[in-house]
C-alpha cells in the first residue's frame, strides 16, 4: 500500500509540474518587456503544440471509456449501427499498433486538429490570441474528458469547430462536409451542427431560450409521467453518474454564457467572435435542456466548451488587455487549473 501511495504521489507531482510548465511558457512571452517579434510567437506555438501533444503520448490511452473503444476496435467497423468513420479509423490503427497506442494517436490527432482550428480562426497578425487560445485549452475539463476519455465525441467536436470556421465565412459546403464527418464520428454531434446553424438568431431569442431551457427536462418528466411514459427510458445515459459537480458546471457555464452575451453588447468585439459567443450560448441552452440528467447534460456541454479557447482570447485582448491584467488573469486561471488537474475524478478517469 505504501509503495502504491508513493507511486501515485509521484505521478501526481509529475502531472502537475508538466501542466504548470505548459501554462508558464506563454505567460513569459506575453508579459516580457519590449516588443516581441513574430518568431518568438511562432516558436512558442510550436512548443505549446508539442507539449499538449506530448501530454497524451505520455498519459493518454488508459482512460475508462477509451478502453471500451479498444475492445471494439477489433470488431468489423460496419457491424456498428452508427459512427462508422470513427470505428474504421480505430480498426485500422488497431491492425498496425499495439494497445493503447491507437487511443494515444487519436488523442494526439485531436490536439493537432484543435491547434489547426486555432490557426485557421485567428489571423497571422493575431499571434497573441493564438498562444492564449492554446494555453486556455488544458484549463478546460473538455481537454481531459473529451480528448482523453470520450475521444469519439472530442474528435467530432473539433471537426465541427472546423466546420464552424467555414460557416462564419459563409462557406456552406465546407461546413456541411465537416458537419457530416463529425456526425459520422459521433451521431449526437448533430445537435452541435444545429446549434451552429442558429448563429444569426437575435440575442433576445437566445436570452429567452436560456431562460426556459433549464426547466425543460423537469417539465417533460412531470408531464410524460402523467401519461405513463418514463422519460428515463428515452434519454440515453439517463441513469449514469460521473461526478458531484453537475449543478456547479451548470452554474458556471450558464453564468459565463450570459456574461459573454452582455460583453458583446457593451464592447466592440469582432463580428466573428460575436457569432461564436452566440453559438456557445446556444449550446449551453441545449445542454441545459438535459439538466435533470447529469451525464447527458455534461456530454452536451462539452461541445460548446471547445469554442471557449476561440472566444476568450478576443475578449481578453479587446476588453481587458494590459500586461498587468493578463498576469493577474493568468494567476487566477492557473489556480483554477491546479484545482482541475488535482481533481481525483479527472485523474481516475484518465487512469493516472
Please write the tens of the pLDDT for every residue from 310-325. 999 988 888 766 777 7
Q: Which of 138, 153, 54, 160 is nearest to 104 (CA)?
A: 54
Residue 336 has pLDDT above 70, yes or no: yes
Asked whether the beta carbons of 258 and 275 are under 8 A apart, the reply is: no
* DSSP label of 212: H
pLDDT at 2: 44
User: How far apart (Å, rounded) are the C-alpha atoms in residues 175 and 167?
Assistant: 5
Mean pLDDT computed over 192-207: 95
Residue 280 has pLDDT above 70, yes or no: yes
Q: What is the pTM of this model?
A: 0.91
User: How far apart (Å, rounded) are the C-alpha atoms in residues 30 and 253?
Assistant: 27
Peptide bond before 100: cis, by omega within 30 degrees of 0? yes
pLDDT at 242: 61
pLDDT at 244: 59
Of the pLDDT bands very low, low, confident and very high (cuts 50, 70, 90), residue 236 is confident
Cell (9 digits) for 168: 462564419
* DSSP label of 187: G
Residue 49 has pLDDT above 90, yes or no: yes
Mean pLDDT computed over 65-71: 81
Cell (9 digits) for 15: 502531472
pLDDT at 7: 44
pLDDT at 4: 45
pLDDT more than 70, % of the chain: 93
Residue 286 has pLDDT above 70, yes or no: yes
Amino acid at each position: 500500500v505504501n509503495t502504491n501511495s508513493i507511486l501515485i504521489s509521484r505521478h501526481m507531482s509529475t502531472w502537475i509540474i508538466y501542466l504548470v510548465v505548459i501554462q508558464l511558457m506563454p505567460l513569459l512571452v506575453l508579459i516580457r518587456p519590449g516588443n516581441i517579434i513574430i518568431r518568438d510567437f511562432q516558436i512558442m506555438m510550436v512548443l505549446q503544440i508539442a507539449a499538449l501533444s506530448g501530454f497524451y503520448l505520455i498519459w493518454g490511452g488508459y482512460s475508462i471509456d477509451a478502453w471500451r473503444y479498444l475492445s471494439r476496435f477489433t470488431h468489423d467497423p460496419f457491424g456498428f449501427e452508427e459512427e462508422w468513420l470513427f470505428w474504421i479509423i480505430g480498426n485500422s490503427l488497431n491492425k498496425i499498433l499495439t494497445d493503447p497506442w491507437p487511443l494515444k494517436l487519436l488523442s494526439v490527432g485531436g490536439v493537432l486538429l484543435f491547434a489547426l482550428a486555432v490557426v485557421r480562426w485567428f489571423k497571422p497578425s493575431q499571434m497573441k490570441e493564438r498562444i492564449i487560445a492554446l494555453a486556455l485549452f488544458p484549463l478546460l475539463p473538455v481537454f481531459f474528458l473529451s480528448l482523453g476519455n470520450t475521444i469519439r465525441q472530442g474528435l467530432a467536436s473539433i471537426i465541427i469547430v472546423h466546420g464552424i470556421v467555414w460557416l462564419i465565412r459563409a462557406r456552406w459546403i465546407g461546413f456541411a462536409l465537416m458537419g457530416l464527418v463529425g456526425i459520422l464520428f459521433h451521431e449526437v454531434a448533430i445537435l452541435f451542427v444545429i446549434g451552429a446553424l442558429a448563429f444569426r438568431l437575435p440575442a433576445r431569442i437566445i436570452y429567452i431560450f436560456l431562460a426556459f431551457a433549464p426547466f425543460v427536462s423537469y417539465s417533460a418528466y412531470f408531464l410524460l409521467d402523467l401519461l405513463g411514459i418514463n422519460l428515463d427510458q428515452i434519454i440515453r445515459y439517463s441513469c449514469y453518474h460521473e461526478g458531484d459537480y453537475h449543478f456547479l458546471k451548470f452554474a458556471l457555464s450558464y453564468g459565463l454564457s450570459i456574461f459573454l452575451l452582455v460583453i458583446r453588447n457593451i464592447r466592440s468585439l469582432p463580428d466573428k467572435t460575436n457569432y461564436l459567443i452566440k453559438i456557445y450560448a446556444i449550446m449551453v441552452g441545449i445542454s441545459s435542456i438535459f439538466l435533470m440528467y447529469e451525464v447527458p447534460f455534461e456530454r452536451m456541454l462539452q461541445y460548446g466548451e471547445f469554442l471557449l479557447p476561440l472566444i476568450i482570447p478576443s475578449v481578453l485582448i479587446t476588453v481587458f488587455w494590459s500586461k498587468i491584467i493578463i498576469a493577474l488573469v493568468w494567476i487566477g486561471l492557473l489556480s483554477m487549473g491546479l484545482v482541475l488537474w488535482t481533481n481525483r475524478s479527472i485523474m481516475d478517469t484518465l487512469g493516472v
